[in-house]
Amino acid sequence: MSEPVLVLDGLRKAFGALKVTDGVDLALRPGELHALIGPNGAGKTTLVHQISGMLKPDAGTIRFRGQDVTGLDAKARARRGLARTFQITSTIASLSALENVALGVQARAAHPLALFRDAASDESLNRPAREALAAVGLADRAHIAAGSLSHGEKRALELAMALALEPAAILLDEPLAGVGKEEGERLIALLASLKGRYAMLLVEHDMEAVFALADSVSVLVYGRVIASGAPAAVRADPAVREAYLGEEG
């Protein structure tokens, strides 16, 4: 079995007396889609913030591609191949889809002076940006302003921006939030098409999508992982059914 690309070991985070992350262990393997589910207030987004580098844990370690990255910030982790999408779309509305993705390509440049290049006219940036757009089904929307895209297209654009980082792992924070049924189905199909090519940690409330996509599932309740394993086993776990899934399980 391949070594995990991402390993969380004993991760803890508290805000005053409130334990938001309480000793979380988790492993994400290359090519795996691992879903993280749990009720509102379980600590899922706080955990993703810690993994991405936006929030420092109080204790525990985060290892990415065999290296301890616990002390690195979000930009340093992104340059190492850890990409993230957000609950709230984070594209630049006035720029085209292509320009948004080209900026992502530019951001991974090793030399800081590269950030001063004109992304709009630099073919070394636009070529991989077009490839990323094609991978998410937005090739024909490349020159449309991001603000004019539908909500589902904006979600796909965010994913293209993540792919432009040439990631080893992608953190997906509720990619289906606010998306209608038809666009949701397209996004689920898109994520399914990327399975096996990227390690993905998916935070999602849509249980139909989770159990259709996930290779493995971890359930977070009050900052603790109460179950982790194959989707069918997690779905059948009595503690999970009681704490979260209820009759949906």
Residues 216, 103, single domain; the answer is no
Cα angle: 126, vertex 200, 26; to 5 degrees: 145
Q: Which residues contact 230 (CB under 8 A, 6 or more apart)?
A: 215, 216, 217
Residues 227, 214, single domain; the answer is yes
For 109-112, the CB contacts below 8 A with 24+ separation are 110/79
Domain boundary among 110, 128, 163: 163
Q: Structural domain of residue 60, as residue ranges?
A: 6-81+167-248
Strand-pair partners of 195? 198
Residues 150, 172, single domain; the answer is no
- The token pair at 230 is 């194959």
pTM assigned to the model: 0.89
Residues 120, 68, single domain; the answer is no
Per-residue pLDDT of the chain (249 residues; tens, 9 = 90+): 689 999 999 999 999 999 999 999 999 999 999 999 998 888 999 999 999 999 999 999 999 999 999 999 998 999 899 999 875 567 889 999 999 998 878 766 654 444 444 555 667 778 889 999 999 999 999 999 999 999 999 999 999 999 988 899 999 999 998 888 899 999 999 999 999 999 999 999 888 899 999 999 999 999 999 999 999 999 899 988 887 655 443
Residues 114, 232, single domain; the answer is no
**SS3 state of residue 14:** strand
Exposed, middle or buried, 231 (CB in 10 Å: 0-12/13-18/19+)? middle
